Structure 1
């Protein structure tokens, strides 16, 4: 595997330098995975536009998808980042661990986590029971499309980190097996 270092502001395009400044102002730092995307001259601006586009999913629903997809794809970076963001959106540590395990005590989130997990594991193929449970929980065809788009967003970031192994700059979280015992 090639070794990736996180580029600094002076090593990226002018367009991305401005984005680094905006991220610094908004978050207090430039996340390493975002900085790594900036190796592509247009990658960071393109990705952030996609990631920040309007969706029918609320912030908690997006985090349900982000957490289960990152768990399935084994991405330590995104699990750390979305555990932090999940807590910021009101999830408890226990709820986050349940979501990472593929369950939720909230029936609507439970249908969502099972649906997103199946989409990720089976590359878009779905058993009828999981799909029917998703719709029975109140989700629509539009939500289905938005979940697929959220899965694709998170899968791209998971794959990027799994390949580059840039340092995790969010509080680390234990592997699920360790966290449950």
Structure 2
């Protein structure tokens, strides 16, 4: 199989170099998976615009979705990244571990995580039980659309890492 290396700033298009500079300023580094997207002259800008678009989900809810989707898709890179980002968004390690296992003690968050896992496992064909539970917890049709978009965002990154296997530049998520 083709080996992927992480492109450096000098190896990417000028438009991506500007994005690398902005990521360096904002995060202190350019995550390897973002750098890998820069193999595409337009992919990184397009993906970041999609990822940073407004949503009805809170940052904490987005992180819960990102983590369970990454767990279902067995993406070690994204599991590792979203353990760090989950802590930054107020989750404890125990809560993050529960989310990776597909559950939460918070009933509303549990409905979100359960549905996100079901959507991911079953390629959008979630059970009526999970959908009904999601709505019963106060989520709206807008939230459902935004959940599906969040699943698609994270699935794209999961697939990119699962295929390229670029080095993980976050503390490695322990196996469950």
TM-score, structure 1 normalization: 0.96
In structure 1, the residue matched to 2:128 is 128
Counterpart in the other structure of 2:32:
32
Is 1:144 equivalent to 2:173 in the alignment?
no
1:75 paired to 2:75: yes
Per-residue Cα deviation, 1:130-154 (whole angstroms, up to 9, x for no partner): 1100000110000000000000000
Which consecutive residues of structure 1, in runs of 5 or more, have no partner in the other structure?
177-181
Quote the Cα distance in structure 2 between the aligned partners of 1:113 and 1:146.
13
Task: Find the counterpart in structure 2 of residue 107 from structure 1.
Answer: 107
**Structure 2 SS opposite 1:144:** helix
State the number of aligned residues: 176
Look up the match of 1:92. Answer: 92
State the TM-score, normalizing by the size of structure 2. 0.99
Spell out the pairing of 1:35-50 with structure 2 (5 A cutoff). 35-50=35-50
Q: Which runs of 5+ in 2 are unaligned?
A: none
TM-fit CA distance, 1:80: 0.5
Q: Deviations over 1:64-107 (max 9, x none)?
A: 10000000000000000000000000101100000000000000
Give the match for residue 164 of structure 1. 164
